[in-house]
Amino acid sequence: MSTLTAVLIIVATVAALAAAGVLLRARTGTGSGTRSLKRRFGPEYDRTLERHGGDSESAHQDLRERVERHGGIRPLPLEPEIREHYAAQWTMLQERFVDAPRQAVADADEFLTRIAATRGFPDPDRREEQLAALSVHHPHHVEGLRTVRRAVHSKSASTEELREALVHARALFEDLTAAGDSTGNGDARARSVSGRHRGHLLRPGSGA
């Protein structure tokens, strides 16, 4: 075997090993990325994968884009009195369900979008963006908001389906108004935002 032939064999071997290493890293990285997304998004990961027809590459791109757009949001704190007011409004909303179930569910939709805006998520007039942002920060319960919207727009939704939608929505409501995040420096911006949205709270018999 000539020296040139030996050199060519060595070069080819090194190139093959390098290519194998790149492929292995790519596969490992993909698996790691999948696990990371599953941990972060929980049930929202499976729902997104289903919406993309099982196409994991498209689902992963969707989820990563959401994180890139909305992962930097730092939810604003709620003052205790605002939280209590929201809780009272939600109780009234549930009581209205007995006489007007569809209107109560529609009110829940509007109420949740306004609370989310109060916390610093996109405004109610950007509903899809708000949903995307909520899916990043509240992936376990964001489906509650989608559920009430589907129920409201379904003319055939039964009273029981409307009730179940409101139950799912309550989980997101509790997430958005959870105690424990209103401490700290008493952020002045958070106080002013809370004050501005005080006028948007649901009132008996009102959908806004």
pLDDT tens digits, residue range 155-203?
899 999 999 999 999 999 999 999 765 333 333 333 333 343 433 333 3
Amino acid (one-letter) located at 45: Y
Q: Mean pLDDT score of the chain, rounded to an integer? A: 80
Q: From start to end of 92-208, where are the E strands?
A: none
* Cα–Cα distance, 26 to 7 (Å, whole number): 29
158 versus 17: which is more confidently predicted? Answer: 158
pTM of the predicted protein model: 0.70
Q: Which of 128, 108, 98 is nearest to 174 (CA)?
A: 108
* Cα–Cα distance, 186 to 147 (Å, whole number): 34
pLDDT tens digits, residue range 124-160?
999 999 999 999 999 999 999 999 999 999 989 999 9
Lowest mean pLDDT across 14-18, 82-86, 120-124: 14-18
Lowest mean pLDDT across 7-16, 35-44, 92-101, 127-136: 7-16
